[in-house]
Amino acid sequence: MRKIIIKSSIELTRDQKAKLEIGLNVDGSEIDYIIDEGLLGGIAILDGDKILDATAAQELIGMKQIADKLISDSMKNGVAIKDIPELLKKCSKNIVENKLDFKTCGKVISASDGVVHIDGLADCCYNELLLIGNKAFALAMNLTTDSIGAILLSGNAVEYGDIAYATGKIIEVPVGEVLLGRVIDPLGNALDGRPAVRTEMSRRIECPAPSIIDRSKVKDSLSTGILAIDAMIPIGKGQRELIIGDRQTGKTSLAIDAIINQRDKNVLCIYVAIGQRAAAVSKIVKTLEDNNALNYTVIVLSTASDSAPLQYIAPYTGAAIAENFMYSGKDVLIVYDDLSKHAVAYRTISLLLKRPAGREAFPGDIFYIHSKLLERAAKLSSELGGGSVTALPIIETQAGDIAAYIPTNVISITDGQIYLEGELFKAGQRPAVNVGLSVSRVGGSAQTKLMRILSAQMRLDIAHYRELAVFSQFGSSLDESTKEILNYGSKIVESIKQAECSPLSILKEELYLFAIVNKYLKKIPQNKVHEFLESYYNYIVSQEADVCKRIELSGELSKEDEEKLKTTTSEYVNAYK
């Protein structure tokens, strides 16, 4: 039997019902009259697969579209703000004179756990934004022959029978310098207690990555201020360098230190927190504020209590904000903390949408969602302004297993990884970088010439020390040369320890490396290595100011300047107590 559902905001009169039944030609069909105050006014008719929408909500949508166009056209022609009310009256007249036709839309046939299935909307596109009644927005994720699967982007209740509209839009978020110093959610709403973000600039969260021809070579250094990283695992502007390690090994601290080091370097920063505790993120905001780093940083926050869809779109929101800066010719550093939780959020969505599950219950396109995100990091060609986005994605491992599914996926996408080892962290090494498993595929091209020469020797010295340290555990006696290597190696390891929120300048790193590589720490006790390096740097800067200036300008060390440095350093070491 044919069943017709008629929804209205108020109860219809007997005459109204009779006219509707004549117009619909019911022929003995079953008719249900339902009162839905959310419709605001008008009626909606659900006749099998057909939906006729003549509600006030639909008319308001049409009115807004016409009003937006009228105001936009008028503003281009220089209409004053005081004249806008007249434009709105004109808009209302247009609505009356050009009555909107019934519009085909969809009907919610199921809603649970933040996932809705919609019947109808034959022209809906993947990732299209949907409006459900006047209550909530959803994102179309599954397009099947008989229904559309969508994920809710808000916590508003959605019920069976609610009407869904296709907006014809992809999610857009506000972008621009107005976001600097702000904490926002993945939809661009303010979370810092300050006024709402107001800007006319917006950008789609899903955009194609720059093509090969639009990119240039990654060769400019992005200094983190961390000696162990800048010396042995250099990062270039436009690179994607993975930070990987177990829980509580200093991954976030390393990324925050890199953000703090961009102060006064004309690099804008974006920190995307995915599934993090709100209390932990508030501490990060306080740290950035205390170090005068918040004014050039945007924080996109999706907490652990947020829905899986919001956690899923968070990194794409951050990427859209970063791309706007990049195409404006600026350099950007973006941190995704972390993509492990992002993968879990996407797995949750996929399972709720009843997609086929693969390895570890992850969907088959789990690699694609991360690759399309990280490929958006690039160094643009000079023709496009030369801007860059440098990505530092973070991945959390379980018991040091870097061969797990998600870690290996992201390792294969990025241009290298910084591996933080739990055992080194427990032993007091900060940052706990495992030099053997860490690598930068950009290499020395993102370093100054002096840094490249000095760091190559230090990497060899550390590798030799660690190799001998392993074998020395099995030997009862060691010769003098081995003891000397082990003794100096322990001082090198001590010298690259670094406290949080204390980044080093490039000149300071180069002078530290000069002293380390040329064995000037031999006479210095291990517990006084840091004290010596700090005082040594101050002494060299005061005594050899011209040499330091030439190093800063050229990034090289001439033979003459090298001899001066060696002479001055030797004098200081001999006089040091």
DSSP codes, 155-166: -----TT-EEEE
Reported as a pLDDT band with limits 50, 70 and 90, residue 377 is very high
pLDDT over 80 at 64, yes or no: no
Is 114 or 506 the better-scoring residue by pLDDT?
A: 506
pLDDT for 565 equals 94
pLDDT for 295 equals 95
- Taken as a whole, the chain contains a residue count of 577
Q: Which two tokens stand for residue 9?
A: 């905001």
pLDDT for 443 equals 76
- Determine which one of 215, 441, 459, 466 is catalytic: 441
Residue with tokens 């370097």: 265
- Report DSSP letters for 55-111, one per residue: EHHHHHHHHHHHHHHHHHHHHHTT--GGGHHHHHHHHHHHHHHTPPPPB--EEEEEE
Mean pLDDT value across the chain: 86
Highest mean pLDDT among 51-65, 379-393, 465-479: 379-393
pLDDT for 68 equals 58
Reported as a pLDDT band with limits 50, 70 and 90, residue 6 is confident
pLDDT over 90 at 83, yes or no: no
Q: Which residues contact 493 (CB under 8 A, 6 or more apart)?
A: 429, 462, 465
What percent of the chain is predicted at pLDDT more than 90?
54
> Measured between alpha carbons, how far is 173 from 203 in angstroms, rounded to an integer?
6
Angle between helices 559-575 and 529-543 (to 10 degrees): 130
Highest mean pLDDT among 46-55, 265-274, 456-465: 265-274
Reported as a pLDDT band with limits 50, 70 and 90, residue 104 is low
What are the pLDDT digits (tens) for 315-374?
A: 999 999 999 999 999 999 999 998 999 999 999 999 999 899 988 999 999 999 999 999
Q: What pTM does this model have?
A: 0.81
Reported as a pLDDT band with limits 50, 70 and 90, residue 103 is very low
Among 128-137, 211-220, 258-267, 384-393, which stretch is predicted with the lowest mean pLDDT?
Answer: 128-137
Reported as a pLDDT band with limits 50, 70 and 90, residue 45 is confident
What are the pLDDT digits (tens) for 265-287?
A: 999 999 999 999 999 999 999 99
Closest C-alpha to 496, from 544, 428, 561: 428
Average pLDDT (96-104) is 40
Q: Is 441 an annotated catalytic residue?
A: yes
pLDDT for 5 equals 79
Is 472 or 525 the better-scoring residue by pLDDT?
A: 525
Q: For domain 105-170, give the fold.
A: Elongation Factor Tu (Ef-tu); domain 3 (2.40.30)
> Measured between alpha carbons, how far is 404 from 397 in angstroms, rounded to an integer?
8
Q: Which CATH number fits domain 178-205+220-447: 3.30.420.40, 3.40.50.10320, 3.90.45.10, 3.40.50.300?
A: 3.40.50.300
**CATH of region 451-575:** 1.20.150.20
pLDDT over 90 at 568, yes or no: yes
Reported as a pLDDT band with limits 50, 70 and 90, residue 99 is very low
Average pLDDT (154-170) is 81
pLDDT for 511 equals 94
Reported as a pLDDT band with limits 50, 70 and 90, residue 28 is low
Average pLDDT (5-10) is 78
pLDDT for 390 equals 97
Backbone angles phi, psi at 2, to 5 degrees: -65, 130
Residue extents of the structural domains in the chain: 1-100, 105-170, 178-205+220-447, 451-575
